Amino acid sequence: MAPSFLPRLVNGPFEDPALFVPFRFQHRALLFDLGDIASLPARDLLKVTHIFVSHTHMDHFVGFDRLLRIFLGRDKNLFLWGPQGFLENLEGKLAGYCWNLVENYQNRFILQATELHPNRAFVKSYACRTGFTAEGAIREVSFDGTALAEPGLTVKAVHLDHGIPVLGFSLHERFHINIIKRQLDNLELAPGPWLNRFKAMIHRGADPQTSVAIPSAHHPGVDLRFPLGELQSAIARITPGQSLAYVADAAGTGENVEKIKHLAADVDHLFIEAAFSHVHREIAVRKRHLTARQAGEIARACRVKQYHLFHYSPRYTDCPGMLPAEAQNAFEGRPAAADDA
């Protein structure tokens, strides 16, 4: 089964956090956190539609400036989420620049930002052509743990403690639509953009009798038409969707750990910080970070298929294998040894 999205950490484990999630066969990507994103080329950044920020410490938000610069002068709607205080910090970023020439832009670039609180959210929009001043009054909506809900996917968010409120996130694809290529060949149908429209109709639960127009592979300008249900039975196989969770900068408290376990239960791929070795757990407690052993224990408890560690403290630069080894011992349920020294 070809995956729908291909998540990858933008930087190495000692560098700023940012998780890039591009979607296959779509000009679209999500970002979780906005640390240094200089290594992402503009063509990748221009795919980004939604950004989920755990908190606005510099190493998680400094990349906003690069993203903003690349998006200026383009027709884009960019959606962002963050925890308490996010709107004020975003507005501080925007207020740090002079915008006296943007009224000349013909393009429509709008930021829509949502600040998540435990049971409510505040939404504001900022238009480039008006110097990113807030459009209209702030809008208050309820928040039940779902940050983004689309026909094909959802993004959940949970509040964690890092001395300040931070967010952990999970991404769930409702189900995966596998296209059977030999059936396309049998029907003499060529792959193309129509497949994305076809999948969107299935995700929306469209009437099976809905007509699907498909450009003819042999007669340019001519559309073939099939009922949605008939076409789905012929060329598609439905399987469980992909899932991932992203957790950065969270104290290893019992309450945090339980929230993370609930957020990341049974996900395919867990991206989780491991700032310190359990040998230095007193430092981890003081700085409100997870240890590598805690990260491995959480991954094991969540029954994840795979996990990736990131956000290492620079104190382990000379022994970079220490943290993954510690986490793997915990993930495999082996007794702790050297990490208790």
Mind listing the pLDDT tens digit for each residue in 12-30? 999 999 999 999 878 899 9
3-state helix, strand, coil in the chain (%, to 5): 30, 30, 40
Among 82-86, 98-102, 251-255, 326-330, name the one with the lowest average pLDDT. Answer: 98-102
Q: Which of 316, 338, 314 is nearest to 326 (CA)?
A: 338
What is the domain class of 250-341 according to CATH? alpha beta
pLDDT value of position 340: 52
* Residue 294: closest CA among 339, 263, 338: 339
User: How many CB atoms sit inside 10 A of residue 124's CB?
Assistant: 19
**Sign of CA pseudo-dihedral 144, 148, 149, 153:** negative
Which of the residue ranges 66-75, 157-166, 287-296 would you say has the lowest mean pLDDT?
66-75
pTM of the model: 0.90
Four-CA torsion 318, 324, 329, 333, nearest 10 degrees:
160
Query: Token pair 């193309």 is at which residue?
Result: 192
Confidence of residue 1 (pLDDT cuts 50, 70, 90): low
Q: Which CATH number fits domain 1-173: 3.60.15.10, 1.10.645.10, 3.90.180.10, 3.30.870.10?
A: 3.60.15.10
- Domain limits, CATH 3.60.15.10, in the chain: 1-173, 250-341
Above 80 in pLDDT, residue 338?
A: no
